[in-house]
Chains A and B, each alone.
Chain A
């Protein structure tokens, strides 16, 4: 499922990115970001329902568990992406002010 979902997100993101309305571009970039996050999670290997917690009494993990590092990575990437999108919205709306919502009018 994850690869298909990832491909769908990239496709939708690219499609929105290529449109002429600046709001669609913002959403397209956001979707691309989500696709990348999902991709990292999937590439890290999905193990469902097994938290990487060492049981009491043991000193190491002995059964396969979810890898915490990709989760930590995408948590960081999600936070950065969220900040980026907020900035993007402000920037695009400032740039588009008085120029309509069409990116063609942003050209020079």
Chain B
């Protein structure tokens, strides 16, 4: 079982994505071949990331220096427990999103090289999760941004394009801040290796607060944190649901991952009020996100706003910054990516049935589509945090970490936001699902042809949230291990 060696395995996930994307280019006009290749690529990514997770679980870190250059000079890969966890989630969401896209996307969009850019998007995520160097992190961010720009503009419809323009402009501003932060860090440390940074930064002062603020701005824009989230509700609801499912699951979480990764213990010591500020921002993110969700009347808009409120919970765990806090944030990431992607897949399902997601025009979904109703109920209850689903354990860990660290206000805000989440999910349920059949005048929608395949990823992801809820100790143990590694620095 020692083949390939740990070092050799590190870049494999990346290579799989790159190979799939490049192999797809000559076949981009042929629907059959590109669909098949795309699925094979997604399955291969899942297999490789599971292998990586298996290698990392004993506590090892997979390291590789490209071309055997010594650490600060070459491109370096370093996958620790957090990185491996994220790789697995990326692969799962990537596979499910792929099936959903093939099932529900307009074939004319698929023919515009959809699958090529889809795998480049996954490559950007995978690269960000497996790099050991801050500048490489910047490069992978740009890779996934460019891919996401193209994917969101693929439909060529005016609303989607306008949303994309806002998204692109704010993303580029965030890249600017990222580079400024990198410049200062390079000045202080003489290297951008994550492993070196933690050792050097503890002793450096003066410019560090600016570096910290710049990097925080950069990642907070990407994560969609308060007050830098406006691009998100402007973009996501206008895109095809199957694409948004992957965006909602992965893109903002890459920003969150970078926050957790870069702001490990040593950097925070040079900036004493950082915890407090992030804590306030976390509460703001939760509250504003959920209030934004409560006033919407479209399923996709409600779900998009909930991305923001849920980012708040992860920020909260991150801001508490004890081992339990960071572990809670990691666990939350693991739970949230799956559930959020699944809710958007269900939106794609509703769209495939009725062609839109407006609450006012949807009636009696429970009476008409039993399985859809059950699937939505499971995901929504998990988002709210009802046991035994994974949302309960995620919220439980975050809230108990908040109490443990002595932040009762954050605890109560998080509870209130949970209640408001329940309210907005109940709004979807009572308006679209629970209305009596005789109120509905529209004909019953039916899944036709390949659209039936949308059911498969929804079942998979629902099974995941159930499994995670029932076996939360397994993943919690891995999260604690990940948090220990992060707080100890990537050494």
Residues on the B chain within 8 Å of A108, using CB: 162
User: Is the Cβ of A91 less than 8 Å from the Cβ of B187?
Assistant: no
User: Is the Cβ of B168 less than 8 Å from the Cβ of A88?
Assistant: yes
User: Is the Cβ of A73 less than 8 Å from the Cβ of B135?
Assistant: yes
User: Is the Cβ of A29 less than 8 Å from the Cβ of B183?
Assistant: no
User: Is the Cβ of A84 less than 8 Å from the Cβ of B186?
Assistant: no
User: Is the Cβ of B184 less than 8 Å from the Cβ of A43?
Assistant: yes
For the complex, what is the distance from the CA of A70 to the CA of B192, rounded to whole Å? 10
User: Is the Cβ of A80 less than 8 Å from the Cβ of B139?
Assistant: yes
User: Is the Cβ of A36 less than 8 Å from the Cβ of B180?
Assistant: yes
Say yes or no: is A53 at the interface (Cβ < 8 Å to chain B): no
For the complex, what is the distance from the CA of A25 to the CA of B73, rounded to whole Å? 35
Q: Which of A40, A45, A92 contacts B179 (CB 8 A)?
A: A40
User: Is the Cβ of B158 less than 8 Å from the Cβ of A43?
Assistant: no
User: Is the Cβ of B162 less than 8 Å from the Cβ of A106?
Assistant: yes
User: Is the Cβ of B182 less than 8 Å from the Cβ of A95?
Assistant: no
For the complex, what is the distance from the CA of A45 to the CA of B72, rounded to whole Å? 17
Say yes or no: is A27 at the interface (Cβ < 8 Å to chain B): no
Q: Which of B156, B172, B184, B187 contacts A29 (CB 8 A)?
A: B172
Closest-CB distance, B27 to chain A (whole angstroms): 23
Residues on the B chain within 8 Å of A39, using CB: 179-180, 183
User: Is the Cβ of A95 less than 8 Å from the Cβ of B172?
Assistant: no
User: Is the Cβ of B182 less than 8 Å from the Cβ of A87?
Assistant: no
For the complex, what is the distance from the CA of A69 to the CA of B149, rounded to whole Å? 29
11 contacts between A and B (CB under 8 A): A33-B176, A36-B176, A36-B183, A44-B186, A70-B186, A80-B139, A88-B172, A91-B161, A91-B168, A95-B161, A95-B165
Q: Which A residue sits closest to B166, measured CB to CB?
A: A106
Interface residues of B in 234-259 (CB under 8 A from A): none
Say yes or no: is B358 at the interface (Cβ < 8 Å to chain A): no
How many positions in chain B have a CB within 8 Å of any CB in the partner chain? 30
Say yes or no: is B153 at the interface (Cβ < 8 Å to chain A): yes
Say yes or no: is A83 at the interface (Cβ < 8 Å to chain B): yes
Interface residues of A in 8-35 (CB under 8 A from B): 17, 22, 25, 29, 32-33, 35
User: Is the Cβ of B186 less than 8 Å from the Cβ of A69?
Assistant: yes
Residues on the A chain within 8 Å of B196, using CB: none
For the complex, what is the distance from the CA of A33 to the CA of B459, rounded to whole Å? 44
Residues on the A chain within 8 Å of B40, using CB: none
Q: Which B residue sits closest to A33, measured CB to CB?
A: B176
User: Is the Cβ of B149 less than 8 Å from the Cβ of A91?
Assistant: yes
Q: Which of B142, B161, B192 contacts A84 (CB 8 A)?
A: B142
Say yes or no: is B173 at the interface (Cβ < 8 Å to chain A): yes
Say yes or no: is B169 at the interface (Cβ < 8 Å to chain A): yes
User: Is the Cβ of A44 less than 8 Å from the Cβ of B142?
Assistant: no
Q: Which A residue sits closest to B150, measured CB to CB?
A: A87
Q: Which of B135, B138, B164, B179 contacts A91 (CB 8 A)?
A: B164
Say yes or no: is A4 at the interface (Cβ < 8 Å to chain B): no
For the complex, what is the distance from the CA of A45 to the CA of B139, rounded to whole Å? 22
Interface residues of A in 71-97 (CB under 8 A from B): 73, 76-77, 80, 83-84, 87-88, 91-92, 94-95
Q: Which of B139, B179, B186, B187 contacts A37 (CB 8 A)?
A: B179
User: Is the Cβ of A69 less than 8 Å from the Cβ of B73?
Assistant: yes
Say yes or no: is B66 at the interface (Cβ < 8 Å to chain A): no
Say yes or no: is B146 at the interface (Cβ < 8 Å to chain A): yes
Residues on the A chain within 8 Å of B158, using CB: 95, 99
User: Is the Cβ of B172 less than 8 Å from the Cβ of A33?
Assistant: yes
Residues on the A chain within 8 Å of B142, using CB: 80, 84
Q: Which B residue sits closest to A22, measured CB to CB?
A: B165
User: Is the Cβ of B146 less than 8 Å from the Cβ of A83?
Assistant: yes
User: Is the Cβ of B164 less than 8 Å from the Cβ of A36?
Assistant: no
Closest-CB distance, A25 to chain B (whole angstroms): 6
Interface residues of A in 38-75 (CB under 8 A from B): 39-40, 42-45, 69-70, 73
Residues on the B chain within 8 Å of A84, using CB: 142, 146, 172
User: Is the Cβ of A69 less than 8 Å from the Cβ of B72?
Assistant: yes
Residues on the B chain within 8 Å of A44, using CB: 183, 186-187
Residues on the B chain within 8 Å of A87, using CB: 146, 149-150, 168
Residues on the B chain within 8 Å of A45, using CB: 187
Residues on the B chain within 8 Å of A77, using CB: 138, 179
